[in-house]
Amino acid sequence: MSDETAATTKGLPFRVVVLSGPSGSGKTTIVERLLGDERLPLRKSVSATTRPPRVGEMDGDNYYFLTAEEFERRRRQGEFVECAEVHGAGYWYGTLKSEVERAREEGRWAFLEIDVDGALEVMREHPEALTFFVTASSQEEYERRLRARGTESDEHIRRRLETARRELARAGHYRHRIVNDDLDRAVREITDILSRELER
């Protein structure tokens, strides 16, 4: 029996939900809205990363912040569903199997906000996963939003834009592509798809 057909403790079929999109696509706000919607049985998977915490980020809340050695140890022990080096900045990110299992145990759906490399790995392991790729209205709009954040250096921005171009090219692997030119509409589109899945 595959992961997806086993029922959760609440009788729902278990689902893995994956959302990706370039930074600046507005996905963070979408994710907050989705996780805040009590009608949806989503449980956020807290990723592990080797990147240092940003101001205000909490270990175990935003991420599990691990040293490169600890990350590698866990990777070798097979503790990750997927992991990837994101942005070519030398930092690793990964979804812990324990996070997916915790969602299932709680009777909820594991919600993964991860990059495209990771998402493709998850799709191989969980072919029934509900996958969403979010884009801003255009590459120009995306660049504007990224710069407006003002938290990153030019070099960092350049690398992120490069990653975004590569990610966009692979958006076709996702079941659903969501254009975030109107936040409410984008959230509603995803919510509707998830709600239909709940009723199945």
- Which residue in the block uniquely carries the two structure tokens 């299992």? 101
Is position 159 an interface residue for ligand 5GP (rule: CB under 6 A)? no
Q: Which residues of 9-23 are buried (b: 16+ CB within 10 A; e: fewer)?
A: eeeeebbbbbbbbbb
Contact pattern for ligand 5GP over residues 51 through 70, marking x by CB under 6 A: x-------------------
Is position 113 an interface residue for ligand 5GP (rule: CB under 6 A)? yes
Is position 114 an interface residue for ligand 5GP (rule: CB under 6 A)? yes
- Which residue in the block uniquely carries the two structure tokens 């692997």? 173
Angular region, 90: left φ>0, alpha ψ -120 to 50, beta rest: left
Q: Which is nearer to ligand 5GP, 41 or 118 (CB)?
A: 118
Cα radius of gyration (the chain): 17
Is position 93 an interface residue for ligand 5GP (rule: CB under 6 A)? yes
Count of CB atoms situated within 10 Å of the CB of 166: 13
**How many whole angstroms separate alpha carbon 199 and alpha carbon 184?**
22
- Minimal distance in Å, beta carbon 20 to ligand 5GP? 6
Query: Token pair for residue 69?
Result: 């050695």
Segment interacting with ligand 5GP, rule: CB under 6 A, options 10-18, 70-78, 111-119, 189-197: 111-119
Query: Token pair for residue 125?
Result: 């392991």
Q: Which is nearer to ligand 5GP, 93 or 111 (CB)?
A: 93
Segment interacting with ligand 5GP, rule: CB under 6 A, options 4-12, 79-87, 171-179, 191-199: 79-87
For ligand 5GP, the binding residue among 115, 120, 174, 190 (CB under 6 A) is 115
Asked if 62 and 47 touch (Cβ cutoff 8 Å), the reply is no
Is position 95 an interface residue for ligand 5GP (rule: CB under 6 A)? yes
Asked if 81 and 122 touch (Cβ cutoff 8 Å), the reply is yes
Query: Taking the mean position of all CA atoms in its chain, how far away is CA 1?
Result: 25
Segment interacting with ligand 5GP, rule: CB under 6 A, options 34-42, 68-76, 107-115, 136-144: 107-115
Where along the sequence are the contacts to ligand 5GP (CB under 6 A)? 20, 23, 47, 51, 82, 84, 86, 93-95, 113-115, 117-118
